[in-house]
Amino acid sequence: MYAKILGLGAVTLLLSARYLHWLFRRWRSRVPLKEVLFFPTSVTCVEHLLLRHLLSATSSLDLCVFAFSNQELSRTVLLLRSRGVAVRILTDKNYMIMSGSQIGALRRAGTCVRHDLEAVHMHHKFAVVDGRLLITGSLNWTVTAIQSNRENILVTEEPDLVRPFIREFEQLWEANDPSRYRSSLS
Amino acid sequence: MYAKILGLGAVTLLLSARYLHWLFRRWRSRVPLKEVLFFPTSVTCVEHLLLRHLLSATSSLDLCVFAFSNQELSRTVLLLRSRGVAVRILTDKNYMIMSGSQIGALRRAGTCVRHDLEAVHMHHKFAVVDGRLLITGSLNWTVTAIQSNRENILVTEEPDLVRPFIREFEQLWEANDPSRYRSSLS
């Protein structure tokens, strides 16, 4: 009888251990991506890591960036559009007309672009890929920023960090709707 | 006999459930801080949330910031120093001499300051409090950035995000040691 009791106890413990192991593996597989990239770096092609994250987009790219003059990143945005990814760009109204800005070319290619309507700077530098992945930091989308300056970007899928940036983008996108601007002038 | 077996099985399951509950509570209490602040905001005094995080420093504040002209933040740094907190500031050599910069005043008050030695910009905007808490984003430590611009900061204790910024600070602090600079001139 005691052998049976011990056997059953052992089986129960074994099952509990296997359940704990399964729970742990499930938790590990759900740990969201967290990555930090610094520019410039001795690691070759850190910008390619940035491009890889952008090119992972399958449905949407929401970009909120103060300055955008990097041609490679501009080509990446156009490539995503050609793949059917919905791209929205929010930018600063003063910097979008600076020499070398890619905003005009992106607009002419049909990309949805809005700019802030305020006297102050729209100084954000973040992107949200597929409503899932946040890319944010000090880095403007310029050649100097990527190739020369000391800069950082943080890439994360942590929902507690991604969600506030999605809300901020939606709120700024609505607030800077040109139809509102026109009606406020009338 | 069956009653005994069932009883033992029930006790084992109960103990497993209690262990799982204990594990869950332990995991919850260890979830690191993750917070996002946007500037400007309708929420009163979002800058006070930033000050609260800075004033939580008990041993060190490592600050790596492109532009620093905000007097309230400068007073906060001096208050931390008066409390015995070790403060180190890394900044951009061009912006540190701009009108309104607080770097000179902080240096004269005895704060350790180093600036980059390169032609490009030291464009980071991050702080590490007590080697534990990271504050990073688009926000320079200026009045305009805090009171007017569209800006963000991300505050986190997530070790996977804090550690790379600590390494970046230490590496830049060493690389911009004035003694190295002088010896490279000789």
Structure tokens at B160: 């996977």
Report if residue B185 sits inside a domain. Answer: no
List, edge to edge, every strand of the sheet that includes B133-137: B34-39, B151-156, B133-137, B125-129, B60-65, B86-91, B112-115
Q: Please state, for a pLDDT cut of 90, what percent of chain A lies above it.
A: 62
Interface TM-score (ipTM) > 0.90: no
The model's confidence at residue A85, banded by pLDDT at 50, 70 and 90, is very high
Q: Are residues A68 and A122 in the same domain?
A: yes
Chain-wide mean pLDDT for chain A?
89
pLDDT-derived band of residue B10, with 50, 70 and 90 as boundaries?
confident
Inter-chain residue contact A9 with B13, CB threshold 8 Å: no
Domain count of the fold of chain A? 2
**Between B5, B123, B148, which is nearest A138 by CB?**
B123
**A159 and A92 fall within a common domain:** yes
| Candidates B138, B151, B169, B174, partner chain A, best to mutate (most A CBs within 10 A) | B138
Residue B122 resides in a domain: yes
Same-domain check for residues B106 and B15: no
Residue B64 domain-assigned (yes or no): yes
pLDDT in tens, B88-106: 999 999 888 888 999 999 9
Same structural domain for residues B133 and B113? Answer: yes
In a domain, B182, yes or no: no
> How large is the average pLDDT for residues A4-13?
80
Query: Which of A150-159, B7-16, B33-42, B122-131 has the weakest average pLDDT?
Result: B7-16
Domain that holds residue A20: 1-30
In a domain, A182, yes or no: no
pLDDT above 90 for A78:
yes
**Greatest mean pLDDT among A95-104, A111-120, B74-83:** B74-83
Instruction: Give tens-digit pLDDT for A26-63.
Output: 666 667 899 999 998 765 566 788 999 999 999 999 99
Same domain (yes/no): B88, B161: yes
A62 and A4 in a common domain: no
The answer to whether A65 and A74 are in contact (CB under 8 A) is no
Query: Would you say residue A98 has pLDDT above 90?
Result: no
* Omega of the bond leading into B40 within 30 degrees of 0 (cis): yes
Kindly state whether residues B41 and B23 are assigned to the same domain.
no
The answer to whether residue A93 is catalytic is no
Confidence at residue B43, expressed as pLDDT on a 0 to 100 scale: 59
Give strand ranges (E) for chain A.
34-39, 60-65, 86-91, 112-115, 125-129, 133-137, 151-156
CB contact (8 A) between residue B145 and residue A158: no
**Exposure string over B106-144, b if 16+ CB within 10 A, otherwise e:** beeeebebbbbeeebbbbbbbbbbeebbbbbbbbbbbee
Q: Examine the domain organization and report whether B85 and B130 are in the same domain.
A: yes
